[in-house]
Amino acid sequence: MLKIEYVWRELLDRVIEKKNPDFTITELAKKYSLSTSVVNHALIPLRDLNIVKINKTSSKVVDWERLLFFWATRRNIKKDIIYSTFSPLSVYDREGLMPFSVIPTGYTAFRYLLNKTPADYDHVYFYSNNAEKVIKRFPKNKRPPNIYILQSDPYLLKFIKIGLAQLFVDLWNLPEWYSKDFQESTLLEIRRNVE
């Protein structure tokens, strides 16, 4: 994930999870150990699209939904895949055998966060910084993969679970036909949270 995406995720998490659209450039730079120029670089397209309003002392997200779609269209989840394999086990068995240190995303995270699924699914996605434990439990297989391990950024691992914004953006970028059902349900859940 690109460093500018940390900024986009943070802004969305503030609005969706904390209901706080206000931020400062200095605060974001300090939180993610980024230079203010990197934060500004992340904010320029958002300002140009009237997604955020930037002021000297305080700034604000004014259109969280456009920010969500903006990030979703720029995310490249394929670049984050560090391991993939096939397992003949059921989805729930694969999910249950994952090491404790991984963080679910995609369909698994949707099921864990919302206790439902809008469609059946067969592929599982998890974030991890160390795929070795997963490789021991799920060795390489030549069949088309149904297990994907994504490189986690250092800030995501501080959380036990991903936020709804990260979930939506990841679902947007998954290739399976059923991802659209999950994505639409996630967007509805986000709208309920924000209103």
Assign domain 3-74 to its CATH architecture.
Orthogonal Bundle (1.10)
Looking at residue 97, what DSSP letter applies? T
Residue type, 132: E
Q: Domain segments of the chain: what residues? A: 3-74, 77-194
Query: How do residues 43-80 score in pLDDT, each as one tens digit?
Result: 999 999 999 999 988 899 999 999 999 999 999 999 99
**In contact, 5 and 46? CB cutoff 8 Å:** no
User: Is 90 exceeded by the pLDDT of residue 160?
Assistant: no
Q: How many other C-beta atoms can be found within 10 angstroms of the C-beta atom of residue 71?
A: 22
Beta-ladder partners of 104: 126
User: Is 80 exceeded by the pLDDT of residue 92?
Assistant: yes
Q: How far is CA 69 from CA 99, 121, 140, 187, in A?
A: 31, 23, 34, 10
Q: Give the sign of the dihedral formed by CA 191, CA 45, CA 31, CA 26.
A: negative
Helix-strand-coil split of the chain, %, nearest 5 = 50, 15, 35
Tokens read off for 149: 């391990």
The mean pLDDT of 169-173, rounded to a whole number, is 98
